[in-house]
């Protein structure tokens, strides 16, 4: 149940009564803690905030947050969230999910939500494995990773989510690590404040199917943005996006741009339509059959 926004809320106020059922040590605990902090920092009104997810360990997150929530179906969180946002643009809509949910069955939704620049925040918790279904290879699993479905090592190359977000038109792109809550909460807060599609790849190790070593491997590779990095300069963003995360994992805000959101486009179209006045049946017929009686050529 959502809280009434009365005065300043603390991180604790955003904590739902439902206790997380993640495995002890799962990186997602760090992410949800950072989310509580970010929501409190922004003093978001829980009655006007909605978390939407798909299916997977990290997609349980809406249940643990004291706002409205929608645990939808596998890979479909982004279109559901788009519908929520278009129905009520005043809402703050945040999407959570994992690499399997977002970059396998959900890939095409990611592409189109980014290019449409829907004003959503997408927190993608990346552990490079399917955790909920017990350890199969995922689209971000590293090459050669041995899993239940890649007994001789993953023979496929992983997707690079940051590079994909950049090429699809996301207007805010960042990377965070569940083991670095201070940095993560700042990035999450900035992503929520950004007007447009914000994508945050959060490295969130799965201790059960990738072992404690995954935490160590991420820690060894993380580093801050290069000195002088300007997130509004495409060449700077591209340099970070092309890095191989098997070697370095750069944390921080990688790319920020401004362009009209899908909601802006809808508003513009609505305004033009009202200026033009109602479309009559005759207008419609004439759009297919010009005055000379010829039929418009089909494509
Ligand atoms: Fe976390 Fe992995 Fe357990 Fe899922 S299976 S809750 S990702 S540790």
> pLDDT by residue (tens digit) across 224-256?
999 999 999 999 999 999 999 999 999 999 999
Check pocket membership of 206 for ligand 1, CB cut-off 6 A.
yes
Question: What predicted TM-score, i.e. pTM, was given to this entire model?
Answer: 0.93
Query: What is the percent of the chain where pLDDT is above 90?
Result: 89
Residue 32 near residue 60, CB atoms below 8 Å? no
- pLDDT tens-place string over residues 42-88: 999 999 999 999 999 999 999 999 999 999 999 999 999 999 999 99
- Tell me how far the alpha carbon of residue 283 lies from the centroid of ligand 1, in angstroms: 58
The number of residues in the chain equals 299
Helix (H) or strand (E) holding 80: helix 77-87
Nearest atom of ligand 1 to the alpha carbon of 210: 2
- Tell me how far the alpha carbon of residue 162 lies from the centroid of ligand 1, in angstroms: 23
Q: β-strands 49-53, 92-98: how paired?
A: parallel
Phi, psi at residue 289, to the nearest 5°? -120, 100
Check pocket membership of 23 for ligand 1, CB cut-off 6 A.
yes
- Tell me how far the alpha carbon of residue 126 lies from the centroid of ligand 1, in angstroms: 11
Check pocket membership of 135 for ligand 1, CB cut-off 6 A.
no
Instruction: Please name which of 87, 119, 114, 166 lies closest in space to residue 264, comparing C-alpha atoms.
Output: 119
C-alpha–C-alpha distance, residues 74 and 78, integer Å: 10
Check pocket membership of 101 for ligand 1, CB cut-off 6 A.
no
What confidence score (pLDDT) does residue 287 get? 83
Q: Has residue 1 got a pLDDT over 50?
A: no
C-alpha–C-alpha distance, residues 105 and 149, integer Å: 17
Q: Has residue 293 got a pLDDT over 80?
A: no
Residue 105 near residue 56, CB atoms below 8 Å? no
Sorted by sequence, the CB contacts under 8 Å of residue 140 that are 6+ apart come out as 99, 103, 126, 128, 158, 159, 161
Nearest CA to ligand 1 atom 3: 23
What confidence score (pLDDT) does residue 296 get? 58
- Tell me how far the alpha carbon of residue 134 lies from the centroid of ligand 1, in angstroms: 9
Is residue 222 classed as helix, strand or coil in its secondary structure? strand
Confidence of residue 112 (pLDDT cuts 50, 70, 90): very high
Check pocket membership of 208 for ligand 1, CB cut-off 6 A.
yes
Nearest atom of ligand 1 to the alpha carbon of 98: 7
- Tell me how far the alpha carbon of residue 210 lies from the centroid of ligand 1, in angstroms: 9
Check pocket membership of 130 for ligand 1, CB cut-off 6 A.
no
β-partners of residue 195 are: none
Q: β-strands 249-256, 222-224: how paired?
A: parallel
Rounded-to-10 torsion of CA 66, 70, 75, 81: -100
Instruction: Please name which of 112, 109, 50 lies closest in space to residue 74, comparing C-alpha atoms.
Output: 109
> How much is the mean pLDDT over the chain?
94
- Tell me how far the alpha carbon of residue 116 lies from the centroid of ligand 1, in angstroms: 32
Residue 176 near residue 170, CB atoms below 8 Å? no
């Amino acid at each position: 149940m959502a809280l009434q926004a009365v005065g300043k809320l603390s991180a604790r106020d955003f904590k739902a009564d439902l206790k997380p059922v993640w495995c002890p040590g799962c990186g997602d605990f760090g992410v949800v803690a950072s989310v509580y902090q970010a929501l409190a920092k922004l003093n978001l009104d829980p009655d006007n905030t909605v978390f939407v997810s798909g299916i997977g360990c990290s997609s349980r997150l809406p249940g643990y947050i004291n706002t409205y929530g929608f645990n939808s179906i596998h890979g479909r969180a982004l279109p559901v969230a788009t519908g929520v946002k278009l129905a009520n643009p005043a809402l703050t809509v945040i999407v959570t999910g994992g690499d399997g949910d977002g970059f396998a069955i959900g890939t095409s939704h990611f592409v189109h939500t980014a290019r449409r620049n829907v004003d959503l925040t997408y927190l993608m918790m990346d552990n490079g494995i399917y955790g909920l279904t017990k350890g199969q290879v995922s689209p971000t699993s590293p090459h050669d990773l041995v899993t239940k479905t890649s007994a001789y090592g993953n023979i496929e190359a992983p997707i690079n989510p940051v590079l994909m977000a950049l090429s699809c038109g996301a207007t805010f792109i960042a990377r965070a690590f569940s083991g670095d809550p201070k940095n993560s909460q700042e990035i999450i807060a900035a992503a929520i404040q950004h007007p447009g599609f914000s994508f945050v790849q959060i490295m969130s190790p799965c201790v059960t199917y990738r072992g404690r070593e995954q935490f160590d491997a991420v820690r060894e590779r993380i580093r801050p943005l290069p000195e002088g990095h300007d997130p509004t300069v495409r060449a700077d963003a591209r340099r970070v996006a092309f890095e191989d995360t098997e070697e370095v994992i750069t944390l921080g805000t990688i790319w920020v741009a401004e362009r009209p959101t899908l909601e802006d486009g809808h508003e513009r179209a609505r305004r033009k339509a009202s200026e033009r006045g109602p479309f009559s049946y005759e207008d419609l017929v004439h759009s297919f059959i010009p005055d000379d009686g010829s039929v418009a050529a089909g494509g």
